[in-house]
Structure 1
């Protein structure tokens, strides 16, 4: 069970879009993939075609349920999503407090899912430090950090390297890696920042996603970039990144068979 955390110190870097499209890419290769949303904005579900009016999620009931797997939604094929869901402020606070005070709270809630054979789990987090990110980091196999090809993101590299996201080394298993998002060859500053990050990060930079209007249009239509524009530059870039992640984690791409639920032994 590989667990991938997608996190960033900065908002607006395309973190949720990247999480969703990586899930699609891995599932296209035959893996069964679960996307988990730890962001109160509850936006990840929309990338999987879950209606805006569907407010189901795990956080509101998390403190009352030892197993969070019943809140998983099947979104088609090998893809599943565990939405944050609609919550009251008191429910959100209670969830964060349990994450902070009970070191086993998260591992208990996700135990069934994290022990499901062959399941790839990719989790999305709010920008910056959060109780969920700190709690799950000890379980994670890899952290993926998207940054924009701009000077604001560039200035945050020391923040990440000084362990400010979780207060400790970001990943002690397969390591932490970066993605440069929305690199625009038409803009000098974007080219310069991309080049600097390529040189500075070396093998820790898994890929560069070029600016592509198809991504915005795919999001608006609640489709993956692979369904909306499979020959686009962004689709090529994200698929390449997904293959590198699979290689690092030794993910078996699966048998190409479409599964429809997460029942043990299915």
Structure 2
């Protein structure tokens, strides 16, 4: 059960889009993949064709002791999504309080999913420190930190290096890595920042995604970049990143077959 956490010290970096397209890329290799949304914006579901009017999610019921896997939605093929859901402010605060104060809360909710054989989980988090990111870190196999090729993202590197996202080491298993998003070869500042980050991050830099208008168009169509524009630069870049993740985590590439699974898990 590899668990990949997609996070960032900064908002607006394309983190959710990356999490969604990584889910598609890993599923294309034959893995059964679940995308989990820990961000109250509840936007991850939109990348998988879930209607804007669909308010289902696990957070509203999470105060109860139940298996969150019951709220997993099928997104076609090998892909599944667990939406955050439409919640009140009181429900959100209760959820975050439970995450911060009950060390077994997350394990109870995700129990069947964390133990499901062969399932790859991609989790999307709100920008900056969060109770969810801190709570899930002991279970995570890899953290993938998303940055833009701009000076604002570059200035936040110390937030990662000084352990400000979780108050401790970001990953205890395979480590944490970086992705530079929207690197624009047409702009000098973008080229300079990309070059600086390449030198600064070294082997921790998992990949660079070049600026590609196809990504925005794919998002608007609620499609993956692979379905919308398979020959685009972004599709190529994300595919390479997915292959590196597979290699680093030792994920067994399947044959693309979707097998019957327990109703209890929702998969």
* Both proteins in one fold, TM over 0.5: yes
Tell me the alpha carbon deviations over residues 73-110 of structure 1, each in whole angstroms, 9 at most, x when there is no partner: 00100000000000011100000010011001001100
Is residue 57 of structure 2 the alignment partner of residue 57 of structure 1? Answer: yes
Is residue 90 of structure 2 the alignment partner of residue 85 of structure 1? Answer: no
**Aligned equivalent of 1:185:** 185
Task: Decide whether the 8 Å contact of 1:33 with 1:78 is kept in 2.
Answer: yes
Q: How many residues align?
A: 266
Give 1:21-40 correspondences, 5 Å limit: 21-40=21-40
**Aligned equivalent of 2:194:** 194
Give 1:254-265 correspondences, 5 Å limit: 254-259=254-259, 263=263
Deviation at 1:263, TM superposition (A): 4.6
Deviation at 1:31, TM superposition (A): 0.1
Which whole-Å CA distance do the structure 1 matches of 2:233 and 2:50 have between them? 26
For the residue of structure 2 that corresponds to 1:76, the secondary structure is coil
Unaligned runs of 5+ in 1: none
TM-score, normalisation: structure 2: 0.97
The RMSD of aligned alpha carbons is 1.4
Which whole-Å CA distance do the structure 2 matches of 1:190 and 1:113 have between them? 39
TM-score, normalisation: structure 1: 0.98
**Aligned equivalent of 1:147:** 147
Deviation at 1:159, TM superposition (A): 1.2
Tell me the alpha carbon deviations over residues 208-262 of structure 1, each in whole angstroms, 9 at most, x when there is no partner: 0000000000000000000000000000000000000011000011122134766
For the residue of structure 1 that corresponds to 2:116, the secondary structure is coil
Deviation at 1:63, TM superposition (A): 1.1
Task: Decide whether the 8 Å contact of 1:215 with 1:225 is kept in 2.
Answer: yes
**Aligned equivalent of 1:67:** 67
Which whole-Å CA distance do the structure 1 matches of 2:38 and 2:116 have between them? 20
For the residue of structure 2 that corresponds to 1:194, the secondary structure is helix
Following TM superposition, the consecutive aligned residue runs of length 4 or more in structure 1 with deviations greater than 6 angstroms are none
**Aligned equivalent of 2:223:** 223
